[in-house]
Amino acid sequence: MKGIIRASAAIVIISAILFYGVHLLESSTATSGSGSISVYNWGEYIDPELISQFEEETGIQVIYETFDSNESMMTKIEQGGTSYDVAMPSEYAIEKMKENDLLLPIDHSKIPNLKNIDPYFLDLPFDPGNEYSIPYFWGTVGIAYNPTLLEGQTFESWDDLWNPTLEQEVILVDSAREVIGMGLNSLDYSLNSTDLRELREATDKLKTLGPNVKAIIGDEIVEMMRREEAAVAVTWSGQAADMMWINEDIDYSVPEEGSNLWFDNMIIPSTAGNIDGAHQFINFMLDAEVAAQNADYVGYSSPNAEGLKLMDPEVTGDERFYPTEEMRDRLEVYENLGLEMLGIYNELFLEFKMDMEK
Residues in binding site for spermidine: 44, 92
At a CB cut-off of 8 Å and minimum separation 6, what does 39 contact? 51, 62, 63, 64, 65, 84, 85, 86, 87, 281
Neighbouring-strand partners of residue 233: 144, 171
**DSSP 3-state percent helix, strand, coil across the chain (nearest 5):** 50, 15, 30
Cβ atoms of 293 and 48 within 8 Å: the answer is no
The strand pairing partners of 63, in sequence order, are 38
Q: Which residues are annotated as a binding site?
A: 44, 92
Q: How far apart are CA 33 and CA 279, in angstroms?
A: 13
User: Using CA of residue 323, residue 327, residue 329, residue 334, what is the dihedral sign?
Assistant: negative
Neighbouring residues of 309: CB distance < 8 A, sequence distance ≥ 6: 288
- In sequence order, what are the beta bridge partners of 234? 143, 172
DSSP string, 282-319: HHHHTSHHHHHHHHHHH-SBP-BHHHHTTS-HHHHT-T
The dihedral formed by the CA atoms of 191, 334, 338 and 122, expressed in degrees to the nearest 10: -160
- The total number of residues shown for the chain amounts to 358
CA 294 to chain centre: 13
Q: What is the DSSP string of 84-96?
A: -SEE--BHHHHHH
